Amino acid sequence: MSVADEYSIERFLDLALAFTTERQLDVLFDMILTESMDLTHCDGGTVYVKSDDCLEFESLYTRSKGVHMSKLDGDVSLPPVQLNRSSVCACAAIDKKLINLPDIYDSKEYDFTGAKKYDSLNDYRTRSMLVVPMIDDHENVIGVLQLINATGSDGEVIPFAREFERMISAMTSLASVSLHNRMLAKEVLDILHSFVRVMIDAVDTRSPYNANHTKSMVSYGEKFLKYAAEKDPELFPEDEWDPLLMSIWLHDLGKLVIPLEVMDKESRLGDKLPEVMHRIEVAILCEKIRGLSGENGADEAIAELTDARDFIMDINKAGFLPDEKLEKVQAISKLQCLTSEGDRVPLLTEDEVVSLSVRKGTLTAEERHIIETHVEYTESMLSEMIFKGLYEHVPEWASGHHEFINGTGYPHHKKGDELPMETRLITILDIYDALTAEDRPYKPPMPTEKAFSILREMEGEGKLDKKLLDMFYESEAWKK
């Protein structure tokens, strides 16, 4: 029984399993090269990956020189090989055929100028060469495996035995199918990632006040996951990182359908302010005219209107309104003002009174409800997409970031074990960034310690996960 036969019996099943289970393409390419070199007892080899109109270096070994370069280690910087007939590896890819040369210096068919130059610069002598295109089940060339200088039992360089041609071809064929599937999966995932980025850019473009929110959360998430991997590796398994980060990217997707006048409302009155100010200015002018006519009470009315105008401007963007200011809103709502037609109308409409009576923030209860529906829209929109395997929970994780452990969140009032750790983390990241964001029109950014004080109060109320909150603080992932 030949060495090749022994190898096929002892190791091919293990290789088949390894090729089909390994998820990282870089590792797969490196595995193909090292296994091929072990099988043929050769001194060196290179794996190229086809990319458009060239072959890019993926992994390179020269054992006698102690050289090992691999993309897996981030140390391959060699220029790509153009897909033309100026190199033997490109010819193998173009012709889709195996090439076995006993001594390249005797070859008249292929150009080995580059190899010979390498030999002279590195005190090396390339002799035998076996070049095998890696072809998938659709007859597409994925890459090229190039092996050099097979060695005999005495260490002398010999030609590559013909018996190895079939073995290496079978090995590369098996690997190529696996590589094709991995590359196809990667392409699909890349498309999904690009779609996510486009959708989030659309959200950001609609609302400049929300432009940095998602990006900041993703940054927090990436840094936190690296910290958690060292602190508690089982908390968020590494194969869950990408689905979790994708959930963060998509958590505010529903804001695409929220009216901008609500989402970007920077003051209590919002777009109602010009109309209120115009109404007051007209009333003041009418009172001045009335005063010039000698009618009584004009000066008092002007003073009241001026005070009301200044008060409205003062509270319109205020962060918080105490009771006395809310009471004054009610008081001025009872004032009457003149119109240009000589009629008297209330200084404020019912909607304007409601808007100015918001104690904290800028949104009325109705407007806040509209904003809150963005999670329902997120859930609905993502449910129309197909998320499977590791990504099947993305819609749930993304749309649950306003739920609280004690059941007081929305939209479904989930609680306890109904909320996975991923959702609990996104909730903390979302609240922290909302508190500290520097681009919100309705409030100044909150200092970090104050933000964490609020988060701890919420944790004390049973809303947030204590372990995750503590780890988030300790990780310093929140540092910008």
Residues in contact with 130: Cβ distance below 8 Å, sequence separation at least 6, in sequence order: 40, 42, 98, 99, 100, 101, 146, 147, 148, 150, 160, 164, 165, 168
Domains, the chain, in order of start with CATH, read: 3-183 (3.30.450.40), 207-261+370-475 (1.10.3210.10), 266-362 (no CATH)
Complete DSSP assignment for 46-92: EEEEEETTEEEEEEEEEGGGTEEEEGGGT---PPPEESSTTSHHHHH
Distance CA 65, CA 275 (A): 81
pLDDT confidence of residue 389:
87
Complete DSSP assignment for 91-102: HHHHHT--EEES
Are 204 and 390 spatial neighbours (Cβ–Cβ below 8 Å)?
Answer: no
Distance CA 340, CA 285 (A): 9
In Å, what is the CA distance from 349 to each residue of 174, 332, 333? 75, 11, 8
Closest CA to 164 of 48, 14, 5: 5
pLDDT confidence of residue 322:
96
**What is the mean pLDDT of each successive set of 10 residues along the chain, which is 480 residues long?**
53 66 71 87 92 88 88 72 90 94 91 86 92 85 93 92 86 74 72 81 74 88 96 93 94 91 90 95 94 89 95 94 96 92 93 95 93 94 89 95 97 95 97 87 82 97 97 94
Closest CA to 85 of 72, 94, 77, 76: 94
Q: How far is CA 159 from the centre of its chain?
A: 50
Residues in contact with 101: Cβ distance below 8 Å, sequence separation at least 6, in sequence order: 88, 107, 110, 128, 129, 130
pLDDT confidence of residue 194:
84
pTM given for the model: 0.67
Token look-up 């002279």 returns 120
